[in-house]
Amino acid sequence: MCGIVGYIGVKDSLNVLIDGLKRLEYRGYDSSGVSLLCKETGNIKTIKKAGKIKDLEDEFKKNKPCKSHAGIAHTRWATHGEPNDVNAHPHGDCFNKISIVHNGIIENYRSLKNYLAGKGHKFVSETDTEVLAHLIEHFYRKDLIDAVKKALLRVEGTYGIVVISSDHPDMLVAARKGSPLVIGRSDNEMFIASDASAIIAHTNQVLYMQDEDVAVLTKNDIELSKVESAKSIDPEFVEIEMTLSQIEKGGYDHFMLKEIFEQPESLRDTEVGRLDKENGTARLNGIKDYFKKLLDADRIVITACGTSWHASLIGKSLIETYTGIPVEVDYASEFRYRNPIITERTVVIVVSQSGETADTLAALREAKSKGASVLGICNVVGSSIARETDAGIYTHAGPEIGVASTKAFTAQVMAFALLAIGLGRKKLLSFEQGLSLINELEKIPGKVNEILHDKNKIESICRKTYKKKNFLYLGRGFNFPVALEGALKLKEISYIHAEGYPAAEMKHGPIALIDENMPALVIALKDSIYEKIISNIKEIKARKGYVIAIANKGDKEIKDIADDVIYIPETKEEFSPILSIIPLQLIAYKIAVMRGLDVDMPRNLAKSVTVE
């Protein structure tokens, strides 16, 4: 969740570190800080500040930074201790000879803190990270690498850390367990960060650290080993495809808006090379060796969090419709705590945009420990989920910077559609049916583009509703999860209370909330349950409710019932969520902007939830 940047080389380290932090702002944070290894004095200079990175820059203007070619930096999202200057990272030891930045949670920090306090260590913050800095100090005998390893053997929990010491001005020491770190190299300099976006301006040659890795970085070299072993590991760098332009706004006011408008392209990238018209099926080379296991499975379990969970609900309906294989969808955060019934004939699919979601990773490992085959759907090549699953499908949606996920959702639904068609062609679907589905999927990006360039009605609806305090989102069938996702988007960035429900459930409680002050946004497409949703709308109108309908173009009946209608193109019922979500994303975005809120950095949220 937090952001880490480290640098050692020949450049002014402060500029590199601050630039890296700014590129990690999208992950969400409440404070930031920098520690520099000062060239003239050999000391460590640390400045940290609650608030935005601009506030940190202002502090550096007041306290002139030293000349430095090595340092570490951090953006913090508070877990242990409130957001303030003292709890901000980096954290140091008693003598300011060691400084550390840390992502993750040290679960046994209280017992360690009590032990170290008994040894005379003085603590100034409420954080678990400061305990780790003092634990390294406790073991330090002029060998920083040895001290870091000994300290890590005593901690329980997760970590991605970078450590500097004034006794070792020419090295950074990094380690990872459960919290991502990526190392970048260039001529006479090395970089490390929690996300490749922080260093892509400097290099595209990266190494993804594995769990239990310890890396020692100098400006010209890297030494890699394990926490419990001194044996050297050959570092394997790869070239990443991410470009600087992909992580910049490109003329849009916000990353979220840019990513909403990138969806025609991201959907094409998800399906490119996978639409096999000759055989009327989907070609998924990444999981082709696991098709038999999927087809022979007693059931498929999909597990995910947040937006990915909503996409997974649609995936369940798609797979069951085309294959007849039973599918369950589980919150990853609950999966391992309920003793899930998993056998060797269960296939588990884990879904995550970042591939680093802590709860989803824990579910993955629980499923593997019980003997299940585990497949992944994720966006980030080289991520933990991509590495630890048996096989998987990359969505190829490109970097998603906005905290409120948009293009990841539609790309995940597209991936599920491809998977369901590929499986279905071997179960229930004829060639003609498969070809018809493939042909329609090919048209989806163009239909999304059509919706994006027909925004006038959305603007007027938002003008009417942006001051409302509550919203109700209703959908049925394939579009019930879209109601959940639309409500989530509004909550995330506008801070308006919103609830998503299956429309038929309205009369089992939520109808009590209906009045003229509660907008009801209803997905009412011309599908197999159209007449049912029309009845639900009439129930709302009978109670003086204000109805906004998402309807298909050409639907003349709906405009006589709903107060406002947003029209979208027709498609097959199963694929309609990819279209119906687009107006809901735009509504959430525009309402948040009208309310004067920071769309890309909503309060209390982080892009990738890498702690439990």
Could you give the domains of the chain?
Answer: 3-246 (3.60.20.10), 249-452 (3.40.50.10490), 454-600 (3.40.50.10490)
User: In the predicted model, what is the mean pLDDT of residues 220-246?
Assistant: 87
Instruction: Judge contact between 126 and 59, C-beta under 8 A.
Output: no
Q: Output the pLDDT for position 296.
A: 93
From 52, 113, 590, 607, the catalytic residue = 607
607 or 377, higher pLDDT: 377
Give the closest residue to 482 by CA, choosing from 354, 380, 590, 581: 581
Higher pLDDT residue, 418 or 344?
418
The mean pLDDT value for 534-541 works out to 88
Per-residue confidence band for 45, with pLDDT thresholds at 50, 70 and 90: very high
> How far apart, in Å, do the first and last CA atoms of the chain sit?
10
Determine the average pLDDT of the residues in 221-238. Answer: 93
With a cut of 80, say whether residue 611 has pLDDT above it.
Answer: no
| Residue keyed to tokens 């329609």 | 440
Q: Which one from 2, 305, 378, 462 is the annotated catalytic residue?
A: 2
pTM beyond 0.85: the answer is no
Confidence of residue 224 (pLDDT cuts 50, 70, 90): very high
Q: What is the pLDDT of residue 606?
A: 58
Judge residue 587's burial from the number of C-beta atoms within 10 Å of its C-beta, 0-12 exposed, 13-18 middle, 19 or more buried. buried
In whole angstroms, how large is the CA radius of gyration of the chain?
A: 26
In degrees and rounded to multiples of 5, residue 50 shows phi and psi of -70, 150
Region 365-388: mean pLDDT is 91
Active site (annotated) includes residue 94: no
- pLDDT for position 1: 55
Given a cut of 60, whether residue 112 has pLDDT beyond it is yes
Cα(36)–Cα(161) distance, integer angstroms: 16
pLDDT of residue 607: 54
pLDDT (0 to 100) of residue 245: 64
* 2 catalytic residue (yes or no): yes
Considering only residues 337 and 261, tell me which one the structure prediction assigns the higher pLDDT. Answer: 261
Are the C-beta atoms of residues 406 and 263 closer than 8 Å to each other?
A: yes
In the predicted structure, residue 65 carries a pLDDT above the cut 90: no
Q: What is the mean pLDDT of residues 182-193?
A: 95
The answer, yes or no, to whether residue 195 has pLDDT greater than 60, is yes
Least confidently predicted of 324-333, 533-542, 562-571: 533-542
Q: Are 206 and 240 in contact (CB under 8 A)?
A: yes
Output the average pLDDT for the chain: 92
**pLDDT band per the 50, 70, 90 thresholds, residue 61:** confident
Residue range 145-160: average pLDDT?
A: 95
**Over residues 407-429, mean pLDDT:** 97
Residue 356 has pLDDT above 90, yes or no: no
Higher pLDDT, 345 or 544: 345
CA distance 34 to 76: 12
What's the pLDDT band for 402 if we cut at 50, 70, 90? confident
Mean pLDDT calculated for residue range 333-357: 90
